[in-house]
Amino acid sequence: MRFAKESKEIIMFFISIMLLSLVAIIAISQFYNLWWIYVLLAIPIFCSIFVIWTFRDPQRIPNLSQNGILAPADGIVTEIVEKEKGFYCVIRMSPFDVHMTRSPISGTVRSVKRQKGKHWPAYFSNYVKRNQRNTIFIENVEKNISAEVIQVSGIFARRTIGYIKEGDEITQGDVIGIIRFGSITSVEIKGENSYKILIKSKESVRAGLSIIAIKDG
């Protein structure tokens, strides 16, 4: 299984905790037969497995589409707004979703802006606007289209990380960052064309695989 970039030290730390917990359980069981000790020591093991699982980066073959827009994140669509020349979509990720962010279009990274902020739960839409975030602006001059992808932190997602920098050329479906422990990812598409929305609110999507909209006409 592949894991997210820059996660090796974190994963090794929690693997160490998991192994130490297993050793402690075996050692204590030699002297005591108290069931609650097993429960107590099982907690760090469970937490370690969960943390390691959240950093997974499953290999995917992106569903490339000349006229389509790919979902930038795994999760549930909480908002989808059709506009005259584009659309806006919000995807809420759970702690159990894959946390990698993927590019909805091919193009050039024009800017990557990091904004400091709070860590309100993603369920409170009015407060989450104040949260820490990364804003990644991607432009495809040939197709006259742009995508603004925003990674928003949450109560568990303490960091939003972009893997790309200004000037990078990326392909639709490429991994461009990660939100540790999930939260919200939004994408706003602007261009000269209108789009037919292929998804609905409360629908589940997968980054790089789900086509959320296609050029109309």
List of E strands, the chain: 68-70, 75-83, 86-92, 100-102, 107-115, 133-140, 145-152, 160-162, 169-170, 175-179, 184-191, 195-197, 204-205, 211-215
The CATH class, in words, for 68-215 is mainly beta
Evaluated on CA atoms 196, 202, 203, 205, the torsion sign reads: positive
Concatenating the DSSP letter of every residue in 80-94 gives EEEETTEEEEEEEPP
Q: Are 130 and 120 in contact (CB under 8 A)?
A: yes
Q: Is 6 left (phi over 0), alpha (psi -120 to 50) or beta?
A: left
Strands 133-140, 75-83: parallel, antiparallel or unpaired by DSSP? unpaired
Distance CA 122, CA 119 (A): 9
- Known catalytic residue: 183? yes
Looking at the chain, how many residues does it have?
Answer: 217
Whether 3 has a pLDDT exceeding 80, the answer reads: no
33, with CB counted inside 10 A (0-12, 13-18, 19+), is exposed
Enter the pTM of the model. Answer: 0.84
Q: Where are the domains of the chain?
A: 8-54, 68-215
Local confidence band at 156 (pLDDT 50, 70, 90 cut-offs) = low
Residue pLDDT, tens place only, 12-49: 888 888 888 888 877 877 777 777 777 777 888 888 88
Beta bridge partners of 107: 170
* Average pLDDT of span 138-150: 94
- Find out whether 160 and 145 touch, Cβ atoms under 8 Å: no
- Is pLDDT of 121 > 70? no
Torsion angles phi and psi, residue 115, rounded to 5: -120, 125
| pLDDT for the residue 49 | 84
3-state secondary structure of 28: helix
Of 7, 106, 183, 210, the catalytic one is: 183
